[in-house]
Each structure stands twice: as C-alpha cells, then as structure tokens.
A and B are shown apart, each in its own frame.
Chain A
C-alpha cells in the first residue's frame, strides 16, 4: 500500500507487508559492428587511403541515385546537367555534376607535416577549440581516386566537413575552381522495422512471435567523470539511490521501477592519465627513485569508485557502458570495450570475455560507437567525440544539426582519419551507417536536446544529445514504448544559499 505524496512519516504504521515493486526484464540484443579483431590479427600496416576508398565506393551509388532524382532534368539556360565520372573530368563552362569526398583545407588543423618540420621534439598540439581560421583562408575540395578539385560557391554555406561524400552540381571556372550551384548527399539509409532482427531470427527457426510486454524506460547518462575524491559522492549517490529505488517514496519508486536498463555513454572516469609535458616528464624521471610499488604513479580510487557504483546498481538493473574520451580505453575510434579487470566487483554480473562477447542481463561493456537493439529499437550511441570534433570544423552549428547531418551523410565519424584518431580499416568500414537507427545518442554534450528527423523513405530518427552528469547533474529517461524523453535532475540543496 503506497502513500500518495511519498511522505511515509505521516499516518498510522502499515499493517500489510511492504509493497515490493519489481522491474521488467530488458529486451536487449546488441550488435558487434565496431569490435576490432584482437591481438596479432589487428594490423596497422595499411594506410588510411583504404578507408577513404571504402567510404567513397560504398556511398557513391547512393549519392548518384539521389543526385539523379534531384538533377536528372535540371537545365540552366539551354544546357542540361550531366554526370562526369571523375572529379578531374569537369570541363570549363560545362554544366555537370560529380561525386567525391570533401576535404577541408584548414590552417588550424593539427598537421603532421608541421610536426616533422620541428625536428628536435614534438610538442603535444594545443587543444584547439575550433579549426576555422579567422582570416577565412579555409578551402574546400572535392576528392576522388583521380585527384582533387577546389570548390567554391554560396551553396556551400551549409557546412561540410572532411570525409562526407557529396555530389556537387556546377561548372568549372577559368582559374580551375568548381563553382557549385547545388549539392546532394546520400541521405538516410533504409530503416529496419522495430523488432526487425528478433523477428528475423524467430522466423528462421519457425517459431511463433512471442507476445511482448510493454517496454520500460532506458536511463541514459554520460560524463560521470568520477575522480575518486569526495567531490563526486553526493550527486552520484543520489543517482544510484534513485535507480535502486532506495531514495524517496513510492511515487518516485514507481517511476524508477519502469527503468529497465541504464546506458552510460562515455567519460565515466575523469582524465585517466594525462600526457605529461616535457618539463613534468623530466622532473618525474630525475626524481627520487622509488623501490617497490610507486603509489604516485597509479591511483586506483576512481575505478574503484566506479566499480562500487556499478555493483550497487547491477543486482536490479542491467547496464551498458561505453568508453569515452577520458576513459582508460584506446584513443583511436572505435574504442574497444572497457576491460573487465577494471571492475572486480561488477564483473560478476558480466559474462567472461572468453565465454561470450555480450552480456544481456548484467554489465555489458561495449565499444564506442555502439549499435544494438534495445526493446526492439535500433540504437546508435556514441561517446560524443565524433560530434565534438565535427563542430570544430564549422561555426554556429547546433549539436543536433551536426548529428542530423552525420546521419544524412551516412557517416558515424566523417572526420575520422583526418582529425579524429581511427583504426585503418582495409576490408570493410563499420563507421558507415548502413541501417538507419531509430535512436541516435551522443553523450558528453554541453546541454540536453532532442529532435526527431525524417527521411525520404519515412524513416524517423530520434536524436538525443545527453549532457555531462558532472556539470548538469541530469539523467535522460527515454520511454521505449512511446519514444518520449524526459529529464531527471539531481539537485543538492546547499544550506545558506
């Protein structure tokens, strides 16, 4: 018997046994698209040109199809637009369109050639807030296997970044620049229906479709940034108590019992091991010699704190955790799952990696970016590095607009080999969106925003930008039945303010 206003101190003591709310299981079917082969099978001898080639080869047909629909019967004056095969085949004065990969030549981008010029030592490049140069010297080029073509034009004020595949309609001018009138991109790919994958496997085994209950909610949080000191404790504990139902009374408990899964989208640990500057490194090297275990080199308390946080929640709620920029995972995309050695307590709730590469009911440590099915909906979640890097190429673009454009260009990380570190894929590029997700989540963004975008074939995608928990103290709750979003704020009242 619950109390309506949650205040359990009022009224007579209860006679009936306490009402124990329970959680529905989470219907979870992850994919392993971004997992890299382990050990010696992971090769680095190939060059990044393979990645750009794969991207162009795969997206070219889709872009050509869209462009032909748009410009098939386009006429300017008396001239019909026609397609040219290679980027270098454009002719002066002729109206034509061509497909290529965009390359942005920007002065402030970190440039490996500058590093080589500094012969004596390489300084870690200062973190740039934006690559756009103030003097407007940035150039945009269209590239394919044959070469590069400089492009210019007003249609290009809708921003583009290195790595997206476009069709550009225009004409070449006397100085060799291609003046662009219009552009076209591949747009959203096909979207599988809800429960598409599960129904396909069931149909293959000729069983009947099971009756599925109403789905619960998924709690999405990012940027916990646990440091191991006392600063994180209060709001983190409040969050944990909210999820386990220990905080507040039955109205909040009944809300929180609808949550069937927690998705942590990156940056759970703050700044694992910063790269020392030259002076600090020299000081550390020439410092006192420590015999035995040097405690100053490694501080385990952040990961212990994260582990105990997860272990408190795991008995009643399954968790999917993605690594982020500041987490102890590899730097290059796609970041591989956080190692179970970091979670001595929580790993009891996870399947050992030797046995299986996914855990459906406990702690699933997954890659960043990650895609999978939660309650039948296809979810694509990233830790936010792809979006933040893209925003450095453009000015005054909202986070959700950047996410929308990334989906419409069908690239999860368009800037990937250029300014975002990445594994050199040779056979197959998983960073291309082949099936349109229903939900696209980017963590560690400055603020909470949501938007629904639609595609040419009636695809609908919910874009979610999740703020950092450390700053905003808020958690996003996504209802998996209606796809509605609400936000839960954890506030700490400071006495005296």
Chain B
C-alpha cells in the first residue's frame, strides 16, 4: 500500500527549532562594512542633487500608481483632447492665432501691475508663470481637482471672461511633451500627489 498521505490542514506543529540565518543576533557582516559591488552605487549617490523642484511626471502608463485625484485629472485631459479633435470651439480657434509676442506683452502688463517683483519664480518659464497666475485667481473658482483647460472652459461658460491668452498658453503646451502634467495646477499636485519627497 502506498504510504499514508497526510490529511490537508492537519500538519502537526513543528516542535523542533530551526536554524536562523538572519536576524540581528546572527549578523555576519559588520554594520559599517560595505559590500564590494555597492561601490559603484555609492559614487553615483554622492553626485549633487538638483536644487530645483523635481516635478513628478504623471505618465498615464502607470495608472496603478495614480491617486484618484491624478486619475481624474488625466481622464479630464483626455476627454478635452478628444473633444478638441472632434470640433474646435471659436475660443480655441482664436486662441491658436495668438502670437508669442502677445502672450509676452500680456505677462509684462501683469508684472507691471505689481509694485514688487515676484520671488521664487526665476526658474519657471513664462508659460508656467501665466498658468500659475491663472490658478491663483479665485474669481474663476477653485483650481484643485480639475484640469486647467476644463477650469478655463467652465469660467468661459459662466461668463467670467477668463483671459484668452491663458487658453493660448494651454493649447500651446498641449502640443508639447508634458501635455498631461501641465493640466494639473501646482497647488493640486502639492495637495494631492502621492509622490514621496526626494532627499
């Protein structure tokens, strides 16, 4: 007769203690010593880190990592892109005709309106500065939880006359490389993003 098989789930508890190959009491390596192949990583780690803010790139490919807030803004942006490809609204047509010079003049007029220059914005592009100014304008509604393009369109629909130069900047950025990232306001990223702070 074949040997009796053990009944499932009826394994007797092992009373014999096992050898432990890990754990603090069995450390082989001294804490200060480094392994040989870690030398290369060490050299690259001590390279000076960038002093600028590293903006976490929300690529739609790692959808599993996105928070619901990120995912919603990504989806809104995709819907906007699809809507644009279907039919372009008159505002968008007008916005596409706006020249870079007009955008720069708009921004210079805004800067002249303030008495003191803006600080901590030296390394931002003009486009990003215009978009941040648009985010911080409370009369167009809260900037979190919504894509910038959607917010502009909502303000337009409610008759609040948002500046057409902002729409021009948004459309220009959309044709660029970071189409998804630019739609999310910086404040929204700070509040809702899941990315860890890089040391």
Interface on A for B, CB 8 Å cutoff? 43-47, 49-50, 53-54, 57-58, 61, 145-146, 426-427
Known pairs A58-B158, A61-B159; A50 contacts B142 (CB<8 A): yes
In the complex, what distance in Å separates the CA atom of A133 from the CA atom of B192?
A: 37
**Neighbour of A45 across the interface among B69, B141, B159, B160, CB < 8 A:** B69
In the complex, what distance in Å separates the CA atom of A180 from the CA atom of B105?
A: 43
**Neighbour of B146 across the interface among A50, A145, A146, CB < 8 A:** A50
Whether B69 lies near A47 (C-beta < 8 A) is: no
Whether B138 lies near A47 (C-beta < 8 A) is: no
> What is the interface of chain A mostly: helix, strand, loop, or mixed?
loop
Whether A45 lies near B145 (C-beta < 8 A) is: yes
Asked if B154 is an interface residue, CB under 8 A from chain A, the answer is yes
Within the complex, the shortest CB–CB distance from B80 to chain A, in Å, comes to 12
Q: Which residues of B contact A145 (CB under 8 A)?
A: 138-139, 141
Known pairs A50-B146, A427-B154; A57 contacts B68 (CB<8 A): no
B residues 169-199 in Cβ contact with A at 8 Å: 192
| CB closest residue in chain A, given B145 | A46
| CB closest residue in chain B, given A44 | B68
| CB closest residue in chain B, given A40 | B75
Within the complex, the shortest CB–CB distance from B28 to chain A, in Å, comes to 44
In the complex, what distance in Å separates the CA atom of A45 from the CA atom of B191?
A: 12
Q: Which residues of A contact B158 (CB under 8 A)?
A: 54, 57-58
Whether B141 lies near A53 (C-beta < 8 A) is: yes
Whether B145 lies near A426 (C-beta < 8 A) is: yes
Asked if B72 is an interface residue, CB under 8 A from chain A, the answer is yes
Whether B142 lies near A47 (C-beta < 8 A) is: yes
Known pairs A45-B69, A146-B138; A57 contacts B146 (CB<8 A): no
Within the complex, the shortest CB–CB distance from B78 to chain A, in Å, comes to 13
Asked if B77 is an interface residue, CB under 8 A from chain A, the answer is no
| CB closest residue in chain A, given B141 | A53
Whether A47 lies near B72 (C-beta < 8 A) is: no
How many chain B residues touch A (Cβ–Cβ < 8 Å)? 16
B residues 131-149 in Cβ contact with A at 8 Å: 138-139, 141-142, 144-146
Q: Which residues of B contact A58 (CB under 8 A)?
A: 158
Q: Which residues of B contact A49 (CB under 8 A)?
A: 141-142
Whether A47 lies near B159 (C-beta < 8 A) is: no
Which A-B residue pairs are the 5 nearest by beta carbons?
A: A46-B145, A145-B138, A53-B141, A49-B142, A57-B158
In the complex, what distance in Å separates the CA atom of A262 from the CA atom of B198?
A: 64
Q: Which residues of B contact A47 (CB under 8 A)?
A: 142, 144-145
| CB closest residue in chain A, given B71 | A45
Known pairs A54-B158, A57-B160, A58-B158; A43 contacts B72 (CB<8 A): yes
Within the complex, the shortest CB–CB distance from B175 to chain A, in Å, comes to 25
Within the complex, the shortest CB–CB distance from A430 to chain B, in Å, comes to 15
Q: Which residues of A contact B138 (CB under 8 A)?
A: 145-146
| CB closest residue in chain B, given A49 | B142
| CB closest residue in chain A, given B67 | A45
Whether A50 lies near B69 (C-beta < 8 A) is: no
Whether A53 lies near B142 (C-beta < 8 A) is: yes
In the complex, what distance in Å separates the CA atom of A45 from the CA atom of B188?
A: 11
B residues 79-138 in Cβ contact with A at 8 Å: 138
| CB closest residue in chain B, given A146 | B138
Within the complex, the shortest CB–CB distance from B188 to chain A, in Å, comes to 10
In the complex, what distance in Å separates the CA atom of A30 from the CA atom of B191?
A: 41
Known pairs A57-B160, A146-B138, A426-B146; A45 contacts B68 (CB<8 A): yes
* 16 A-B residue pairs with CB within 8 Å: A43-B68, A45-B68, A45-B69, A45-B192, A46-B144, A46-B146, A47-B142, A47-B144, A49-B142, A50-B142, A53-B141, A54-B158, A57-B160, A145-B139, A426-B145, A427-B150
Q: Which residues of A contact B160 (CB under 8 A)?
A: 57
Binary per-residue interface labels of chain B (45-78) against chain A in the complex, 1 for a CB within 8 Å, 0 otherwise: 0000000000000000000000011001000000
Q: Which residues of A contact B139 (CB under 8 A)?
A: 145
Q: Among the interface residues A45, A54, A146, which one has the most CB atoms of the partner chain B within 10 A?
A: A45
Q: Which residues of B contact A427 (CB under 8 A)?
A: 150, 154
Within the complex, the shortest CB–CB distance from A231 to chain B, in Å, comes to 45
Within the complex, the shortest CB–CB distance from A144 to chain B, in Å, comes to 9
In the complex, what distance in Å separates the CA atom of A47 from the CA atom of B144?
A: 8
In the complex, what distance in Å separates the CA atom of A44 from the CA atom of B145?
A: 9
| CB closest residue in chain A, given B158 | A57
In the complex, what distance in Å separates the CA atom of A146 from the CA atom of B141?
A: 11
B residues 157-172 in Cβ contact with A at 8 Å: 158-160
Q: Which residues of B contact A44 (CB under 8 A)?
A: 68
13 additional A-B pairs beyond A45-B72, A49-B141, A53-B141, beta carbons within 8 Å, are A43-B68, A44-B68, A45-B69, A46-B144, A47-B144, A50-B142, A50-B146, A57-B160, A58-B158, A145-B141, A146-B138, A426-B146, A426-B154
Whether A50 lies near B159 (C-beta < 8 A) is: no
In the complex, what distance in Å separates the CA atom of A427 from the CA atom of B160?
A: 14
In the complex, what distance in Å separates the CA atom of A47 from the CA atom of B142?
A: 9
In the complex, what distance in Å separates the CA atom of A426 from the CA atom of B159?
A: 16
| CB closest residue in chain B, given A47 | B145
Whether B145 lies near A57 (C-beta < 8 A) is: no
In the complex, what distance in Å separates the CA atom of A45 from the CA atom of B67?
A: 10
Within the complex, the shortest CB–CB distance from B194 to chain A, in Å, comes to 13
Whether A57 lies near B72 (C-beta < 8 A) is: no
In the complex, what distance in Å separates the CA atom of A29 from the CA atom of B159?
A: 31
In the complex, what distance in Å separates the CA atom of A354 from the CA atom of B177?
A: 40
Q: Which residues of B contact A45 (CB under 8 A)?
A: 68-69, 72, 145, 192
Within the complex, the shortest CB–CB distance from B32 to chain A, in Å, comes to 42
Within the complex, the shortest CB–CB distance from A304 to chain B, in Å, comes to 38
| CB closest residue in chain A, given B153 | A427
Within the complex, the shortest CB–CB distance from A189 to chain B, in Å, comes to 16
In the complex, what distance in Å separates the CA atom of A47 from the CA atom of B150?
A: 15
In the complex, what distance in Å separates the CA atom of A53 from the CA atom of B138?
A: 9
